[in-house]
Structures are given as structure tokens and as C-alpha cells.
Amino acid sequence: MKPQRFNSFKNFLLHVHDFSSLLVEIIKNLPTVRKNHKETLKEMYVIGTQALLLAMLGGLFSGVILAIESGHSVEQFGATMLISRTVSLGIIRELGPAVCGLLLASRTGAKNTSEIGAMQLSEQIDALKAYGINPVEKLVVPRVVAAVLMFMPLTLIADATGIIGGMFVTTSTFHVDLVYFWTTAIKVLKFKDLFVGTLKPIFFSFFIGALSCYFGLNTKGSTTNLGKNAISSVVISAVTVLILDFVFTKVIWEIM
């Protein structure tokens, strides 16, 4: 193995080790969220409430596109009655959580990494440590908890707007009856689908929150490194969402 490759692999393992340590510390410090409830509420507003429009738009266009694509595919077989079923299952199980997860990974990832990274560069994190405050407790836990609490309702809202978007396309372009659309869209959903659709954002948000804070805390040197870390944070959070989505889908199909 070439030394450079070995160093890259060694660095990767060190990152995995450090990130795992951060995860343990986050879990250990979860009870401190009550003490830092003001920061958590502020983060819930920024991470959740301010991202409402983004989640709605993501959901809406996912539903619209899914209805158009599936509609044209099944139309030639005269099976337009299946569109509502496809839209409902597709949005609740897959597109809603995945699209919402990717959009929020970009938004929250960039926000957390740039904020914490800037604090690291201006020695504010050192100041917290110097004055006896654990930065994980004060900065990381409120952000992770806020993400976990807000991603699920945002995903449910994105799901709802996605199905509404699909409904408009199905009823206006493919002339499916509105009542039939809703009856089928609701009837087709089983507990398993709702369980998967609501559980995914909880895991996505935990990892997005933790990864973005990890990259922020690991910012060293210059503002160029802050930019690099913000990019890494967004890319790795997005890839993590896709991998977790795959794992969830595979596991759920196997066990349920």
C-alpha cells in the first residue's frame, strides 16, 4: 500500500473513531437538553420552522413528478386508477423522507457546520472549554435534539403536500375521480408504511445533526478549511441519508 493511501485510510479511521466518540458523548449528554432548553427551542425554530417552505416545496414537486411519470407509464395500459396508489405509497415510504432528508441535510448541514466552524476559528469553542462549559452539551446536543424533533413533522408535512400535488396532477391530467383518489391513497397505506415513513426522518436527523456538528468542531486553521468542511458536511450527510434509506428499505422488506 502506498504511504499516501495508507495515510488517507488512517485519517478515515481516525474520523470514524472521533465521530463515534462524539455520538457516545451526545447520547451521554442528552439529559442536559433541559438545562439548555432555550438554545434547543431557538434551534428548533431555525432548523424546523424556517425550513417549512422548503419541505413543502420538496414534497409538492416530488408528488407532482411522481404522478406525471407513473401516470404516463400506466396510461398506455389503461391503468390510471393505480396512480393514487403509487403516489401515496411512493411518497409516504420513500420520496417524502428521502427528498426531505436530502433538502434538510443540505440546509441544516451547511448551517451547523458553518456556525460551529466559525466559532471554532474565532476561539469561541476554546472559550467555552476554558470557562468550564462542555461544547457538546451547549452546542451539539441542542442542535441534534432540535433536528430529531423537527424533521419528523416536516417530513409528514412534505408527505401531505406531495400527495396533494399528486392529486392535482392525477385528477386534472389523467381525469381520475377525486374521491376515488383519496379513498385509494388512504386505503393502500398499512401500518408498516406509516411506521417506516415516520421512523426514517428520526434516524436521518440524528445523523445529519451529529455529522454537521462534527465537521464544525473539526474546523481548524483558515476560512478555506471552513468552506471545505461545510461541503464535506453536506455531501456526507446527503450520502448518509441515501445509505440509511437503503438499509431501512431493505431491512423493513425483510422483516415486515
Report the nearest approach of other proteins to the CB of residue 222 (Å). Answer: 13
Compare residues 199 and 228 and give the one whose CB is closer to other proteins.
Answer: 228
Task: Tell me whether residue 126 or residue 177 sits nearer to other proteins (CB atom).
Answer: 126
Residue 80 CA to residue 184 CA, distance in Å, equals: 12
Q: Are 54 and 103 in contact (CB under 8 A)?
A: yes
Per-residue burial over 140-159, b if 16 or more Cβ lie within 10 Å, else e, is bbbbbbbbbbbbbebbbbbb
CA dihedral 92, 97, 103, 109 (to 10 degrees): 160
Beta carbon nearer to other proteins, 133 or 239: 133
In the complex with other proteins, which residue's Cβ is closer, 120 or 155? 120
* CA–CA dist 55, 65 (Å, integer): 15
CB of 120 to other proteins, least distance (A): 10
Phi and psi for 142 in degrees, rounded to 5?
A: -60, -40
- Count CB atoms within 10 A of the CB of residue 247: 11
Taking the complex as a whole, how short is the minimal distance between the CB of residue 122 and other proteins, in angstroms? 6
Q: Minimum CB separation from other proteins for residue 123, in Å?
A: 4
Where do contacts with other proteins occur on this chain (CB under 8 A)?
122-124, 126-127, 129-134
Q: Is residue 54 within a helix (H) or strand (E), and if so which, with residue range?
A: helix 52-75
By C-beta, is 39 or 159 nearer to other proteins? 39
CB of 104 to other proteins, least distance (A): 22
